[in-house]
Amino acid sequence: MINLLGKRYYFFILSLLIILPGIGVLAVKKLPLSIDFTGGTLLEVQFEKQAPQPAEVIKVYQDLGVDDVLVQSTSEGTIVARSSFLEDAVRSKIVDELSQELNQTVTVLKLDSVGPSIGQEVAQKAAIAVGVAALIVVLYMTFAFRGVEHALRYGICAIIAMIHDVAIVLSLGAIGGHFWGWQIDSLYLTAVLTVIGFSVQDKIVVFDRVRENSRIYRRLDFETLVNHSIVQTLQRSINTQLMTVEFMLLALALFGGITLREFAIILLVGLFSGTYSSIFIAAPILVVWENREWRQWFTSKDRQALA
Amino acid sequence: MQRTQITNIVLIVLIIIVTIYINIPNAPAIPGINRQFQTRLGLDLVGGVQALLEADLPPDQAIDADAMQTARQIVENRVNGLGVTEAVVQQAGDRRIVVELPGEKDPEQALSILKQTGLLEFVDFSELTPQAAFTLVGTKIETDFATGQSPVQPTQPLTSTQTTQTFHTVMTGKALKSVSVTSNQLTGEPEVAFQLTSEGAQIFKDYTTANVGNVLSIVLDKEVISVPTINEPITEGQGSISGNFTIESANALAVQLRYGSLPIPLKIVESRTVGPTLGQDSLRKSLIAGAIGFIVVILFMGLYYRLPGFVAIFAILVYALIDFALFRAIPITLTLPGIAGFLLSTGSALDANILVFERMKEELRSGQTLRQATKLGWVRAWPSIRDSNIATLITCTILYYFGSTLGATIVKGFSLTLFIGVIVSLFTALLVTRTTLTMALEYIKPTNLSRWFGI
């Protein structure tokens, strides 16, 4: 049988190698939050004839007394203008002004206007909701695994691995924001929620095998038992994950259109991480905990023995 | 074949028939159930406008729940006047109202109607007897107050209970200076007392002097809310409305008079407009993507798991039928996040099948008979299916609660479709996969395991 657990510290390092650069970008550049969280107004318009230069659009905004607008032209020939939260009076005028000044018909594709306090509140409450959900899931898992020793550990390991998955997705968001101009908007929030839901579900499937095996193989030492369990569930993980869910998301990323592409890519990575972390993060941590390996982390001789 | 087996097959066939029926576009209504089933698409898919209204009061000031409820009702009445068929008006938390107008073509006009204070008119009903006037309470009427100035243009067709007559507007709510609730000095009954501006007092004096004994109707956003009779001329610009009030109903009328209509001033703190082209484009592309993904999954399941794979495909199709039928029947508005929730629950539905089949194969490899392996596959896989899905249901419930108190419809839509999808996937795994697989094995009696199971 493959010894996956023996290489657990390599897997931890691999994850850190992916998460840390993202955290680095985050530390320097902050998360590219969209107006959904910072508050503001986003206008995306399509022009009947040729799209104007950003400067022309900026001028229209300035004439209405808005000085902080950022204008981008997209690859699809539309114009996206982001500004601070516009009062009703200004917002209702802007489209008419645009079509008048530029002398062509302007079609509104999207006009989002979010008050400054709302955005922060959404982000805050989402974090609270996720926290509460995590706590209740830990409690539930402790209950569901009450038959095995240290039931609480399973829940906590699942949540640690879930945080790992969220970190991967955040890291991707930060890198995407830096290199491809992604914005962290409410659709991204939905993707994160999806990753969280899937991650916990996947952990329980793998842990369930540990739970079952611990009843059957009472003599086996814990590390072998857990390794045995993850190898047994490996085929299912690959099939559920790679063959079905990831294929659907790939289709969504390739054919789903621009609105969904970012969303699908984040899910693609996040759900992959969700499966990966069940095998390579959650289960190994369970073993690290059982062996109390942290006692040996700082004595170099023993660490070599582990790796 | 066992008795329960037959019952299960009958149940599955019944479910398929009913759900197909619900999913047929424009199916004739079932007698007894007086409604049509429709797929409701959210405004991110069809275009439209969504707004979040918040009480425009200091954050530390407590908001009266009843007043908020009234405000919601009034906003809903206005929205209905816009003629949008699937409008949603919901209270979110204790100081916000979510308004969704899918398909609304003129978002700015809609937004301006939402937050206006409402038009209060005093309308001449002198041609009507008090009894006739009373029958009009609660209905919409036409008045001659210039519609250009009127913030509401009723687009609803007039029904038989409404009159097509145009009434004369004596004055509007602008003439009111103050309104209060008092009790009648003689009877002790509650009354609504009002004071008029000097301009209003003059108009009112002339009008009431000429119309003693006639009805003067109070109309809000073209809806008759009260039909008091003029008992005596009101010359001093002060008067009161009396008649069968309770303290509550007197208060309600006073509030309506005072604020025009909204008991709480509202401001738009968030608005989202999606143009119809962007929405339809998203919908078309995600449908194509969904279909492609689905075909790939079907191919994989069939090729890899063989016989059980086809059972799973059947189960997933039934799952999708039930899920969509529920979306149409409840009804649930499908948004992009909602579709994400659906996709994720489709993943769980597949996972349930895969878990069972992998387990079955394991048992077969370890030398169990087919019958034993099928049974054990179920027994052993079930705890993991159950516990993992319960955890997802817990997460969904919390996210839904969070989404609805905050008015974050994106989170709400996601968690709702995921929740329903997970329940349906558990149900189909238990009923459809198990029954169909057992039946297929009994019928085919496969002997060549590598051909039928891909071992």
| Total domains in the fold of chain B | 3
Cβ burial of B202 (10 Å; 0-12, 13-18, 19+) is: middle
- A297/A299 Cα distance (integer angstroms): 6
- How many interchain CB pairs under 8 A, A with B? 216
B173 against A277, higher pLDDT = A277
- B416/B25 Cα distance (integer angstroms): 23
φ and ψ at A2, to 5 degrees?
Answer: -60, 140
pLDDT at B155 over 80: no
Q: Using CB atoms and an 8 Å cut-off, which of residues 101-130 of chain B contact chain A?
A: 107-108, 111-112, 115
Residues of B within 8 A of A137 (CB-CB) are 391, 394-395
For residue B151, name the pLDDT band (cuts at 50, 70, 90). Answer: very low
- Scanning the structure block, which residue is given the tokens 């009030």? B245
Which pLDDT does position B100 carry in this prediction? Answer: 87
Q: CB distance A236–B274 less than 8 Å?
A: no
DSSP H or E stretch at residue B50: strand B48-55
**Which residue in chain A has the smallest CA separation from B293?**
A248
B388 in contact with A, Cβ within 8 Å: yes
Residues B218, B293, single domain; the answer is: no
Mean residue pLDDT across chain A: 85
Task: Answer for the pair B169, B145: CB distance below 8 angstroms, yes or no.
Answer: yes
What is the three-state SS of B366-397? Answer: CCCCHHHHHHHHHHHHHHHHHHHHHHHHHHHH
Q: Is the dihedral of CA B146, B150, B156, B158 positive or negative?
A: negative
Q: Which of A201, A202, A260 is nearest residue B286 as measured by Cβ atoms? A: A260
Which pLDDT does position B1 carry in this prediction? Answer: 58
The closest of A30, A39, A23, A29 to A186, measured between CA atoms, is A39
- A91/A68 Cα distance (integer angstroms): 14
- B312/B33 Cα distance (integer angstroms): 33
Q: CB distance B293–A252 less than 8 Å?
A: yes
For residue B149, name the pLDDT band (cuts at 50, 70, 90). Answer: very low
For residue B30, name the pLDDT band (cuts at 50, 70, 90). Answer: low
Residues B136, B224, single domain; the answer is: yes
The dihedral over CA atoms of A154, A155, A156, A158, expressed in degrees to the nearest 10, equals: 80
- B393/B417 Cα distance (integer angstroms): 11
Q: CB distance B293–A144 less than 8 Å?
A: no
**Which residue in chain A has the smallest CA separation from B48?**
A110
B40-41 and B88-92 beta bridge pairing: unpaired
Last residue of a domain, one of B82, B116, B150: B116
Q: What share of chain A is helix, strand, coil (3-state, %, to 5)?
A: 70, 10, 20
Number of H helices, E strands in chain B: 14, 14
Q: CB distance B395–A196 less than 8 Å?
A: yes
pLDDT at B233 over 90: no
Residues B68, B143, single domain; the answer is: no
Task: Answer for the pair B310, B3: CB distance below 8 angstroms, yes or no.
Answer: no
Residues B284, B340, single domain; the answer is: yes
Residues B416, B281, single domain; the answer is: yes
Q: CB distance B293–A200 less than 8 Å?
A: no
Q: Which of B271, B282, B337 is nearest residue A190 as measured by Cβ atoms? A: B337
Which pLDDT does position B32 carry in this prediction? Answer: 64
Residues B289, B358, single domain; the answer is: yes
B386 domain residue, yes or no = yes
State how far residue B171 is from chain A, nearest Cα, in angstroms.
28
| Residue B241 DSSP label | E
Rg from Cα positions in chain B: 31
DSSP H or E stretch at residue B51: strand B48-55
pLDDT at A164 over 90: yes
Task: Answer for the pair A114, B270: CB distance below 8 angstroms, yes or no.
Answer: yes
B158 domain residue, yes or no = yes
Q: CB distance B300–A244 less than 8 Å?
A: yes
Best mutation target, B50, B111, B277, B278, to test chain A (most A CBs within 10 A): B278
Mean pLDDT over residues B41-60, rounded?
84
Q: CB distance B112–A257 less than 8 Å?
A: no
pLDDT at A54 over 90: no
Give Cα A128 to chain centroid, integer Å: 16
pLDDT tens figures, B309-357: 999 999 999 999 999 999 988 888 888 788 878 887 888 888 899 999 9
For residue B152, name the pLDDT band (cuts at 50, 70, 90). Answer: very low
DSSP H or E stretch at residue B284: helix B276-305
- B384/A208 Cα distance (integer angstroms): 5
| Domains along chain A with CATH numbers | 5-34+118-306 (1.20.1640.10), 40-114 (3.30.70.3400)
Q: Strand pairing partners for A45? A: A79, A108
Q: CB distance A110–B273 less than 8 Å?
A: yes
B151 in contact with A, Cβ within 8 Å: no
Cβ burial of B114 (10 Å; 0-12, 13-18, 19+) is: buried
pLDDT tens figures, B121-145: 888 888 888 888 888 887 778 777 7
B384 in contact with A, Cβ within 8 Å: yes
φ and ψ at B166, to 5 degrees?
Answer: -100, 125
Residues B254, B318, single domain; the answer is: no
Task: Answer for the pair A246, A130: CB distance below 8 angstroms, yes or no.
Answer: no
B210 domain residue, yes or no = yes
B134 domain residue, yes or no = yes
Give Cα B143 to chain centroid, integer Å: 32
Best mutation target, B94, B269, B316, B396, to test chain A (most A CBs within 10 A): B269
B81 domain residue, yes or no = yes
Q: CB distance B269–A254 less than 8 Å?
A: no
**Which residue in chain B has the smallest CA separation from A253?**
B289
Mean pLDDT over residues A251-267, rounded?
81
- Give Cα separations from B308 to A238, B134, B301, B344, B362 (angstroms): 17, 69, 8, 22, 14
Last residue of a domain, one of B61, B92, B116: B116
- Scanning the structure block, which residue is given the tokens 């143009």? B275
Range ranked top by mean pLDDT from A198-207, B109-118, B282-291:
A198-207
Which residues constitute the domain of residue B62? 48-116
Residues of A within 8 A of B399 (CB-CB) are 129, 133, 193
- A91/A110 Cα distance (integer angstroms): 13
The closest of B261, B265, B262, B249 to B181, measured between CA atoms, is B249
Q: Please give the model's pTM, rounded to 2 decimal places.
A: 0.76
The CATH number assigned to the domain holding B424 equals: 1.20.1640.10
B408 in contact with A, Cβ within 8 Å: yes
pLDDT at A56 over 60: yes
State how far residue A300 is from chain B, nearest Cα, in angstroms.
39
Q: CB distance B391–A201 less than 8 Å?
A: yes
B27 domain residue, yes or no = no
Residues of B within 8 A of A211 (CB-CB) are 383
Q: CB distance B410–A114 less than 8 Å?
A: no
Q: CB distance A118–B269 less than 8 Å?
A: yes
Task: Answer for the pair A133, A111: CB distance below 8 angstroms, yes or no.
Answer: no
- B164/A79 Cα distance (integer angstroms): 47
pLDDT at B46 over 80: yes
B376 in contact with A, Cβ within 8 Å: no
Give Cα A268 to chain centroid, integer Å: 10
Q: Is the dihedral of CA B35, B41, B47, B49 positive or negative?
A: positive
Mean residue pLDDT across chain B: 81
B391 in contact with A, Cβ within 8 Å: yes
B422 domain residue, yes or no = yes
pLDDT tens figures, A27-40: 887 778 888 888 88
Supply B310's token pair: 């086809």
B286 against B455, higher pLDDT = B286
Q: CB distance B390–A202 less than 8 Å?
A: no
Supply B214's token pair: 């006639």
Which pLDDT does position B323 carry in this prediction? Answer: 93
Residues B290, B439, single domain; the answer is: yes
Q: CB distance A205–B355 less than 8 Å?
A: yes
A40-47 and A78-83 beta bridge pairing: antiparallel
**Helices of type H across A83-115:** 88-102
**Which residue in chain A has the smallest CA separation from B284?**
A256
- Give Cα separations from A75 to A42, A80, A213 (angstroms): 17, 11, 54
For residue A147, name the pLDDT band (cuts at 50, 70, 90). Answer: confident
B40-41 and B333-334 beta bridge pairing: parallel
Task: Answer for the pair A229, A210: CB distance below 8 angstroms, yes or no.
Answer: yes
- B54/B92 Cα distance (integer angstroms): 9
For residue B156, name the pLDDT band (cuts at 50, 70, 90). Answer: very low
As a whole number of Å, the end-to-end CA separation of chain A is 18
Residues of B within 8 A of A117 (CB-CB) are 269
Residues B303, B442, single domain; the answer is: yes
B56 in contact with A, Cβ within 8 Å: no
Q: CB distance B408–A249 less than 8 Å?
A: no
Residues of B within 8 A of A236 (CB-CB) are 351, 354-355, 358
DSSP codes joined into one string, A120-168: HHHHHHHHHHHHHHHHHHHHHHHHHTTTSTTHHHHHHHHHHHHHHHHHH
Mean pLDDT over residues A153-171, rounded?
93
- B143/B147 Cα distance (integer angstroms): 9
Residues of B within 8 A of A212 (CB-CB) are 380, 383
Residues B171, B209, single domain; the answer is: yes
**Which residue in chain A has the smallest CA separation from B50?**
A112
- A162/A285 Cα distance (integer angstroms): 12
- A131/A134 Cα distance (integer angstroms): 5
For residue A281, name the pLDDT band (cuts at 50, 70, 90). Answer: very high
Residues B207, B288, single domain; the answer is: no
Q: CB distance A252–B289 less than 8 Å?
A: yes
Which pLDDT does position B153 carry in this prediction? Answer: 39
- Give Cα separations from A44 to B100, B121, B175, B179 (angstroms): 20, 40, 43, 46
pLDDT tens figures, A96-116: 888 888 888 888 888 888 887
The CATH number assigned to the domain holding B71 equals: 3.30.70.3400
Residues of A within 8 A of B358 (CB-CB) are 233, 235-236, 239
φ and ψ at B139, to 5 degrees?
Answer: -105, 165
Last residue of a domain, one of B71, B97, B116: B116
Residues of A within 8 A of B289 (CB-CB) are 251-252, 254-257, 260
Which pLDDT does position A251 carry in this prediction? Answer: 84
- A164/A19 Cα distance (integer angstroms): 8
Residues of A within 8 A of B389 (CB-CB) are 201
DSSP H or E stretch at residue B227: none
B333 domain residue, yes or no = yes
State how far residue A80 is from chain B, nearest Cα, in angstroms.
13
Residues B359, B291, single domain; the answer is: yes
Q: Strand pairing partners for A47? A: A106
